[in-house]
């Protein structure tokens, strides 16, 4: 009897515990420092008043029903309640993950790699790398997905066609497409291999035939017509490596950049002045009918600014892509003679194009820039001639500031001690505070050959006045004023009477400055004829003016 009482007591205790632990409410969100979502609680006070609650188990409520949370930012599809999902920036669906297309695994191709993930995860990865989405939902296994990686890899696609084991050099992607074609059986891709590789056991073998590739280099081709490696005559019998795997070229011709007209190497470079072309009469190679043709203008013998003679020679000629300045001036020079015009010439694919004229009035002039000091490779173009404020500069640094103006600073015997002022034109240096040189246009502006263009050239600035002290002299024994002659007075202590201004050397010296301002003064024109020269020295009331 005692044993039965003990059992009854135990049953009563267990029943009481169950009553105490039973939950009375479902909170969509609880209160506290660490709130929980969809939690069964004993008291309504544990529920956050801003969210739903009910006297039932959470599993029976609609707001705590578990569905699928699609989070595009995280790239995940996870089981979740609607509230939790939306609170974390997701999009909720009542359907399970297995029924959502975007949450099913497929093949995500990004660049040269592949991953077997959901479309949501694929979108996330493509956004991270900034690449276009390429998701293949039809891929059902990870192995088949990984086989799609690096679709642009080049190699040998081996297959059987018409009972023959043959091959084509292509990409992995195109080889996989070929495998889906019923006309080709047993297709397999061998990355990095050539179709002539002996171990592939195809009907493709080496040959002595060459061909131009899409990159304008010369290639050997196999007996099936596939491109092999870049033409290198020294490796034609190297079946172990050269005719087996794709290789970068190692051939080169010493001192011949771009392997121009090389007999043995097909590693052409358009940037260096060569490209694959069919051989012509006089061209020779060790094998094949194609060559890295020289694109330099070797046969051109026209005007060329790099040559010491101003004309292209057999040793000094324009390079492919090079442009330079030229002039129609008969005696060469820099197109500063009256009527002269500058041009831009360009060497392209072995030929010099028609000259591009800048401006007959030289408001635009041809200017060159040396791009490569070792080869003296130049680039030229017509640019504005900024000469207008040259003569107002009295400092060498300001005059030679090429970012602001096109001027040159001349000193010493070139300027004969003169300088410019805005009020009086060119004046003689008389004080130590005067400029040490003068600033004149680097490219003298000019007029059109028919004189119809209105171009303001500051020739008048070169006008100069030289004050000479003169005295009248009479012949011996005569005092008749009609027989008197004006002559320069002798220099006195501390004063020079500028007698040299009456001589032609003074006028010629000033002409150097005058001709530097434009089509001014006495100079030779563009056809080589010297302008009419007339003495401009006049004696007026005891003053000599030029």
pLDDT (tens digit per residue) in 139-158: 888 877 877 778 888 999 99
Residue range 202-223: average pLDDT?
Answer: 96
Question: How confident is the model at residue 363, as a pLDDT?
Answer: 87
311 within some domain: no
Q: Answer whether residue 529 is part of any domain.
A: yes
Give the confidence band of 5 by pLDDT, cuts at 50, 70, 90. very low
**Nearest residue to 40 (alpha-carbon basis) of 50, 30, 32:** 30
In terms of domains, do 395 and 501 share one? yes
411 and 284 in a common domain: no
The domain in which residue 280 lies consists of: 154-294
How much is the average pLDDT of 240-267? Answer: 92
The pLDDT tens digits for 89-100 are: 888 888 888 888
Residue 196 lies in a domain: yes
Could you tell me the pLDDT band of residue 430, with boundaries at 50, 70 and 90?
Answer: very low
φ and ψ at 314, to 5 degrees? -65, -25
Boundary of a domain, candidates 294, 320, 340: 294
How many C-beta atoms lie closer than 10 Å to residue 466's C-beta? 17
Q: What is the mean pLDDT of residues 241-264?
A: 92
* 245 domain residue, yes or no: yes
Please report the sign of the dihedral spanned by the C-alpha atoms of residue 176, residue 181, residue 187, residue 190: negative
Share of the chain above pLDDT 70, in %: 80
Contact 360, 337 (CB under 8 A): no
> Does 394 lie in the same domain as 510?
yes
Pick the last residue of a domain from 294, 315, 346.
Answer: 294
* Per-residue pLDDT tens over the stretch 291-322: 999 999 999 999 898 877 789 999 899 999 99
What's the pLDDT score for residue 546? 40
Q: Are residues 417 and 277 in the same domain?
A: no
In a domain, 290, yes or no: yes
Strands 543-545 and 465-466 come out as: antiparallel
More confident call, 205 vs 436: 205
Greater pLDDT, 1 or 61: 61
* Look-up of token digits 């599809």: 77
Cβ–Cβ < 8 Å for 46, 31? yes
C-alpha closest to that of 168 among 150, 186, 205, 195: 195
Shared-domain flag, residues 394 and 535: yes
Residue where one domain finishes, among candidates 274, 294, 314: 294
Q: In this predicted structure, what is the pLDDT of residue 22?
A: 53
Check residue 435 and give its pLDDT. Answer: 61
DSSP 3-state percent helix, strand, coil across the chain (nearest 5): 20, 30, 50
Residue 537: inside a domain, yes or no? yes
Q: Which of 53-67, 328-342, 357-371, 426-440 has the lowest mean pLDDT?
A: 426-440
Q: Domain tally for the chain?
A: 2
Does residue 218 belong to any structural domain of this protein?
A: yes
Q: Three-class SS of residue 540?
A: strand
* CB neighbour burial string for 319-356, b if at least 16 within 10 angstroms, e if fewer: bbbbbbbbbbbeeeebbbbbbbbbbbbbbeebebeebe
Average pLDDT over residues 271-298: 94
Is pLDDT at 495 greater than 80 in this prediction? no
Same-domain status, 420 and 530: yes
Q: Are 9 and 3 in contact (CB under 8 A)?
A: no
Is there a domain that residue 107 lies in? no
């Amino acid at each position: 009897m005692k044993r039965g009482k003990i059992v009854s007591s135990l049953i009563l205790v267990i029943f009481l515990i169950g009553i105490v632990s039973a939950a009375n409410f479902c909170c969509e969100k609880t209160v506290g420092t660490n709130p929980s979502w969809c939690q069964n609680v004993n008291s309504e006070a544990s529920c956050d008043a801003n969210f739903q609650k009910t006297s039932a188990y959470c599993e029976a409520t609609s707001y705590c029903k578990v569905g699928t949370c699609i989070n595009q930012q995280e790239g995940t599809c996870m089981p979740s309640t609607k509230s939790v999902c939306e609170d974390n920036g997701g999009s909720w669906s009542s359907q399970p993950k297995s029924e959502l297309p975007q949450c099913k695994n497929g093949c995500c191709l990004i660049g040269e790699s592949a991953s077997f993930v959901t479309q949501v995860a694929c979108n996330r990865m493509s956004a991270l790398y900034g690449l276009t989405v390429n998701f293949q939902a039809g891929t059902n296994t990870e192995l088949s997905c990984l086989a799609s990686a690096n679709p642009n890899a080049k190699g040998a696609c081996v297959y059987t066609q018409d009972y023959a084991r043959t091959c084509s050099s292509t990409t992995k992607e195109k080889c996989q497409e070929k495998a889906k074609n019923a006309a080709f059986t047993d297709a397999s891709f061998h990355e990095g291999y050539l179709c002539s590789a002996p171990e592939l056991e195809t009907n493709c073998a080496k040959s002595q035939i060459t061909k131009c590739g899409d990159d304008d280099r010369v290639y050997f081709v196999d007996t099936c017509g596939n491109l092999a490696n870049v033409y290198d005559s020294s490796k034609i019998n190297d079946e172990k490596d050269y005719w087996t795997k794709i290789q970068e070229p190692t051939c080169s011709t010493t001192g011949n950049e771009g392997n121009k007209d090389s007999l043995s190497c097909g590693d052409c470079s358009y940037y260096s002045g060569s490209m694959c072309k069919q051989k012509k009469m006089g061209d020779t190679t060790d094998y094949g009918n194609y060559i890295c043709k020289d694109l330099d203008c070797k046969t051109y013998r026209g005007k060329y600014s790099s040559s010491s003679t101003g004309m292209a020679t057999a040793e000094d000629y324009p390079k492919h892509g090079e442009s330079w300045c030229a002039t129609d001036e008969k005696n060469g020079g820099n197109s500063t003679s009256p009527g002269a015009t500058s041009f831009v010439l360009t060497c392209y694919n072995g030929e010099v194009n028609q000259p591009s004229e800048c401006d007959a009035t030289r408001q635009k002039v041809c200017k060159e820039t040396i791009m490569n000091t070792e080869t003296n490779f130049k680039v030229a173009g017509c640019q504005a001639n900024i000469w207008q404020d040259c003569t107002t500069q009295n400092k060498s640094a300001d005059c030679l500031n090429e970012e602001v103006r096109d001027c040159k600073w001349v000193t010493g015997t070139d300027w004969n001690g003169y300088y410019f002022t805005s009020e009086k034109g060119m004046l003689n240096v008389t004080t130590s505070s005067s400029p040490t040189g003068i600033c004149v246009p680097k490219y003298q502006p000019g007029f059109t050959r028919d004189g119809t263009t209105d171009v303001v050239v500051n020739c008048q600035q070169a006008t100069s006045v030289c004050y000479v002290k003169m005295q009248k002299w009479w012949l011996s024994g005569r005092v008749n004023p009609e027989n008197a002659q004006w002559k320069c007075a002798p220099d006195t202590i501390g004063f020079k009477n500028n007698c040299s201004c009456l001589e032609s050397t003074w006028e010629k010296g000033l002409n150097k400055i005058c001709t530097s301002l434009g089509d001014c003064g006495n100079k030779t024109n563009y056809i080589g004829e010297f302008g009419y020269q007339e003495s401009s020295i006049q004696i007026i009331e005891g003053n000599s003016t030029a």
